[in-house]
Amino acid sequence: MADRAHIRNGQIIRRYNGERGRVNLENGQVAMPVVLGYESGNDKVVPYNTVTNDTSTGSDVVRSVDVVVGADEVTETITIRDKTQAEIDAEIAAAQETAMDALEESNSRDKALAQAIFRLANDVRALEGKQPITGAQFRAYLKGLL
């Protein structure tokens, strides 16, 4: 992990691990080694702190990273939390939609199979004396199987 950063005008230019490396300054000069507290014009070498907040309890987690560049330090906050039920449901719905979109691709093997099954299902329903199902009903049925 980096323990120091070269910043200029509130932006991280480069991160460093220890004093090894070189600082390419705005004026074209180079400063070596990378010493905490070094300043030259708009260039500074400041501490890079990493804070981890892990409140997760399961395997379905969300990891977010927030980096704040201050005047005298950079703080990276890593937050790990459990996914909400809404996020899990949204992922499942997205996966189902992706699978269903394969039925719409013009040269898709899945599309050909779905069309054959749709026709067969309606043929069977006709033999049983039932109303044929619509494409939307068949799509909803397939989506329910996923």
Which pair of tokens denotes residue 63? Answer: 């990891």
Are residue 126 and residue 94 in the same domain, yes or no? yes
Question: 0.75 cut: is pTM over it?
Answer: no
- Positions of the chain with pLDDT under 50: none
Choose among 118, 112, 110: nearest CA to 140.
118
Residue 96: domain span: 85-145
Are residue 140 and residue 89 in the same domain, yes or no? yes
Q: What is the pLDDT of residue 103?
A: 75
Domain count, the chain: 2
Q: What is the pLDDT of residue 1?
A: 67
Q: Report d(CA 75, CA 12) in Å as an integer.
A: 11
Q: Report d(CA 106, CA 19) in Å as an integer.
A: 59
Q: What is the pLDDT of residue 107?
A: 75
* Domain-terminating residue out of 63, 82, 101: 82
Looking at the chain, the number of H-run helices and the number of E-run strands are: 3, 8
Q: Report d(CA 45, CA 29) in Å as an integer.
A: 15
Are residue 59 and residue 110 in the same domain, yes or no? no
Q: Is the dihedral of CA 30, 34, 40, 44 positive or negative?
A: positive
Q: What is the pLDDT of residue 110?
A: 80
Are residue 100 and residue 131 in the same domain, yes or no? yes
Are residue 50 and residue 64 in the same domain, yes or no? yes
* Domain-terminating residue out of 82, 112, 134: 82
Are residue 78 and residue 92 in the same domain, yes or no? no
